[in-house]
A = this chain, B = another copy of it.
Amino acid sequence: MSHRIRVAIAGYGNLGRGVESALAQNPDMQLVGVFSRRDPASVTLLDSSIPVYSMADIEQYQDEVDVMILCGGSRSDLPEQGPYLAKFFHTVDSFDTHAKVPEYYEALDQSARESGRVAMLSVGWDPGLFSLNRLFGEAILPEGETYTFWGKGLSQGHSDAVRRVAGVKSGVQYTLPSEEAIARVRSGERPELTTREKHKRECYIVLEEGADADTVRESIVTMPDYFADYDTTVHFIDADTFVKEHSSMPHGGFVIRSGNTGTDSIQTIEYSLALGSNPEFTASVLVAYARAVHRLAHLNDIGAKTVFDIAPGLLSPKSPAQLRKELL
């Protein structure tokens, strides 16, 4: 690399902070600025020497940024920010509303092609690395089934639901993959499993003073949509334990392809992630793909891109010859 890749961050929450950390682990890149809709003076970065700018001024910085990493949410931020920012920057985002990918792709692609930019969407682990493994699995073992399990992971939506129960002071919910279901998939029997059969739910609750544990447990495990149809365990803990043991954001999961070849050989491909911090890992994937976006931009290979379009070698700071020698 003749010069370091100049990266900026649009949106500074957990994911943006993760991107800041990840960039510091990659010496061929540098963070040149953070853009926020909040008052810049109120945004505190890990590295206070990095400037924070107002999102309203972002267009002015198009010559100073090689790749813009979009760290907004998929529901309301990205559908608007993605196509807008692709007019001025090469971008990468973690859009994760699976059902709306085709529509978002089209909007991004149109904007990026008009401006001659690369706009990469849906980068992270699911969508992202899990998507890649679903593709590899079915391309290599066309006769087979693909299974995706999530967890152990903190579920934001279910944690919110638990906290709305009367008597709950604080609470979190973890989704866990069912060990029995995974064992059946690994055996090669190719069971038909619903999402419900594949997962269990576990809650850690701090009660309000005077609240009755049995009543709270009953309210949780019978809650329709969220818990009623699952095997749910509720643990009651004190406030100190809650802060100490349940403040991080772990996640992970499995993609397993179970197939057969020849006459009756059972073949199993398994990909799994055990993540101490979900936003920091997603950020690390975004940063590796930002490197690929920068290289595509140099090749003038413009338009919207997904992980399916990226040759893996483009993710590494190493040269193709070095990769062949060291990693093949």
Contact = CB atoms under 8 A, between A and B. Distances in A.
Interface of A: 18, 21-22, 25-26, 98, 101-102, 105, 122, 127, 129, 131-132, 134-136, 138-143, 186, 188, 248, 260-277, 280-281, 283-285, 288, 291, 306-313, 315-317, 320-321, 323-325, 327-328
A141 B261 contact: no
B277 A262 contact: yes
Which 10 A-B pairs rank lowest in CB-CB distance, beginning with the nearest? A265-B276, A308-B313, A265-B277, A139-B315, A261-B280, A268-B274, A266-B276, A139-B288, A262-B280, A21-B262
A277 B265 CA distance: 6
Contacts of A98: 328
Contacts of A324: 101-102, 105, 306, 308
B140 A288 contact: yes
A316 B133 CA distance: 12
A312 B277 contact: no
Contacts of A281: 140, 261, 265, 267
A132 to B, nearest CB: 6
Given A142-B26, A186-B274, A308-B313, A21 B328 contact: no
B261 A267 contact: no
Nearest to A186: B274
Contacts of A284: 140-141, 261, 267
Given A188-B276, A270-B271, A308-B320, 20 more contacts: A101-B325, A101-B328, A127-B328, A131-B328, A134-B327, A135-B315, A139-B288, A139-B316, A261-B283, A265-B276, A267-B273, A267-B275, A267-B280, A268-B275, A269-B273, A308-B311, A308-B312, A308-B316, A308-B323, A308-B327
